[in-house]
Structure 1
């Protein structure tokens, strides 16, 4: 099927039902020939609830028992198959997909981006995030967990609100935050992709403009990758700041463990990549928000070689302390002279997060 003949889908994600429902209703009003499909998770009953409606009213509402009432299961088992089934009927001009609360559009887009045969009758036209402007700073930089907000997630879902909401904003083509003030708009501009649009209400957006397709999968993926080599936009004003720490040097494994709290704590958003002399071929991911930081293994470095780069967004006054923490983790001139950039070690203390050290395989690639 020609991509232009596929049914456009507008994805609506968020961390609270009220702003998401408001945006979904506004999209339905602007697109009377569209169908809306809403997915909700009831983790207590382990049930996924699907509601389908259009301008003529309710079409279908079913409850589906799922073995694990989680976001990933919902997307895999029903969200994508339902969107494809509705698109294949050819009955509607577009589909509005109200995702489960805390479900990221990234999960849907990657299924369709990497497995296009899974849904040959549809295309993602826009990834939209609906948030509440009055709580924006706490939602994007605070230390609440999803379970602490009483959101419909499993008790063992330990994701933070800030890491979830910030990741949504970073991937989005459009962010709508109701009652948005200047400080909130500034914070969103610091976190969001540079060409993403930010609006203070659904009334500011003409939904029909979204249907030709403002979402570009590769473009969105490039922005949210752990390894980013290109320059970031320059920010010259506003309360929110962006620190772009970058070096060709690796982190010292021991000092990283000692200083990770200093670099990652606080009400900020941080993400990027780093490398270690003890594992020179391994891309190490850094992902932090609201004082919580996770590090983990990615793939191997590409032909451009290893890079340490962490970008931090914040609104406090600790920028000098963060700079000191970052630079203190890097190998010093003396250490480079004594041991070099690549170490042959049996252990570096980071195995619980990064897996086993692999003996410096691939050192010759950057010697």
Structure 2
């Protein structure tokens, strides 16, 4: 019998703790485990509780203060240990603040030993409603709120919070955020997933009975997303889907990236450049903070440049023109591919050396 596991993510520790406590109290014989990373001391704190009270509180010195080390050194071993204990019928896990659940879900989907004891039932994104729009669409950095996960963590709050909502099986808001913010959350979330107001309204028993569908989450969140987007029925939020079989020109990408990458909106997707024709490259940003990097080889797939933008109010009219300007022109696209064989293309700081990916 596998133990159901509910995983909570978020960038607001208070909203995460509220969701964790609500679920743990509603489930008979549940155990909760909360992990926190102190990026300054590189300590991981594990707190385990059940209905009887505090069971464990331990600090672990991490080799590196990062999510991968925390998962490997304590989070996954702890979840397996709790699942093997017959005292509990369910586990509610609060991941370190600003952690995305995709890596944990991948481990559980591919590790046969863990899969014999743990069933990932659902991933929840807990959203604090102090200022939802700012959390999702501003240029605030995690380190500015002291919720970064390691000393070198330069991620934006919005990029992480948006990705958590996009990956979640259910989103729980700690209070009514207002119509605009609610529309934005719905626009970001995978279509048809529940968005709940108030942790007390969560149906813990129903959540443990279901099973996390990694394929659905991965399809919606993947940079290689190639399905048609559903119609966005919203009074306040907008979505813009820009795509082309042509790649971005590497020089114009460097010179004009701010035209697409800055602004109070979420942007994500994939692109390619002719100097690295075999590489599917990832684009992920929010509120003016943007990350680009290698994702995977294209393999047998046809390369495509596709970016999806989501925001509030009116969609910026210049996005489509900026996207078109950064692509190869139809004439440039007809050039022999060997004309793009160069030793450097200026993208090395983000994508690595060309020779490393050739």
Q: Which moved more, 1:347-356 or 1:50-59?
A: 347-356
Shift of 1:65: 2.2
Counterparts of 2:63 and 2:272, CA distance in 1: 38
Matched with 1:354 is 351
Cα distance 1:36–1:140, how it changes in 2: closer, same or farther (>3 A)?
same
Alpha carbons of 1:21 and 1:236: their partners in 2 closer, same or farther (altered >3 Å)?
closer
1:314-325 matched pairs, under 5 angstroms: 314-325=311-322
In the TM superposition, residue 120 of structure 1 has moved relative to its aligned partner by: 2.7
- 1:197 offset after TM fit, Å? 1.4
- Indicate the residue corresponding to 1:196 in structure 2: 193
Deviation at 1:105, TM superposition (A): 1.5
Taking structure 1 as reference, are residues 118 and 316 closer, same or farther at Cα in structure 2, changes over 3 Å only? same
Listed as ranges, the matches of 1:126-145 within 5 Å are 126-145=122-141
Kindly report which structure 2 residues correspond to 1:255-334, keeping only aligned pairs within 5 A, or say none: 255-334=252-331
Task: Check whether the contact 1:169–1:188 (CA below 8 A) recurs between aligned residues.
Answer: yes
Matching of residue 21 in structure 1 with residue 17 in structure 2: yes
1:170–1:224 Cα contact (<8 Å) kept: yes
Aligned to 1:205: 202
Does residue 184 (structure 1) correspond to residue 181 (structure 2)? The answer is yes
Q: TM-score, normalised by structure 2?
A: 0.94
Partner of 1:80: 76
What CA deviation, in whole Å up to 9, does each residue of 1:234-290 have, x standing for no partner? 114321111100111111111111211011101211111111222221111111112
Q: CA contact under 8 A between 1:279 and 1:359: conserved in structure 2?
A: no
Q: Report the alpha carbon displacement of residue 202 of structure 1 after superposing the two structures with TM.
A: 1.3
SS in 2 for 1:80: helix
Correspondence for 1:215: 212
Q: Give RMSD over aligned pairs.
A: 2.0
1:118-153, CA deviations, whole angstroms, 9 ceiling, x for partnerless residues?
453011100011111231111111111111012264
Which runs of 5 or more structure 1 residues have no equivalent in the other structure? 362-367
CA distance in 2, matches of 1:360, 1:354: 9
> Residue 240 of structure 2 contacts residue 315 of structure 2 at CA under 8 Å; is this kept in 1?
no
Structure 2 counterparts to residues 54-65 of structure 1, below 5 A: 54-65=50-61
- CA distance in 1 between partners of 2:112 and 2:319 (Å): 42
- Name the SS of the counterpart of 2:223 in structure 1: coil
**1:100 partner SS:** coil
Q: Is 1:51 equivalent to 2:47 in the alignment?
A: yes
Question: CA shift at 1:154, angstroms?
Answer: 3.2
**CA-CA distance at 1:25 after TM superposition:** 1.2
Which sits farther off after the overlay, 125-134 or 35-44?
A: 35-44
CA contact (8 A) 1:37 1:52 kept: yes
Is contact 1:275-1:306 (8 Å) kept? yes
Provide the residue aligned with 1:167 in structure 2. Answer: 163
CA distance in 2, matches of 1:291, 1:166: 13
Q: Unpaired runs of 5+ in structure 2?
A: none
Of 63-72 and 240-249, deviating more is 63-72
Work out which of the residue numbers 5, 29, 44 in structure 2 matches 1:9.
5
Contact 2:8 2:125 in 1 (8 A): yes
Change in 2 beyond 3 A, CA 1:77/1:318: same
Q: 1:230, CA displacement in angstroms?
A: 0.7
Q: How many residues align?
A: 356
CA offsets 1:34-84 (integer angstroms, 9 cap, x no match): 111111223333322211111122222222222323332222211111010
TM-score after normalising by structure 1: 0.91
Conserved in 1, the CA contact under 8 Å of 2:239 and 2:315?
A: no
What's the CA shift for 1:31? 0.5
- Select 2:105's aligned residue among 99, 102, 109: 109
SS in 2 for 1:183: helix
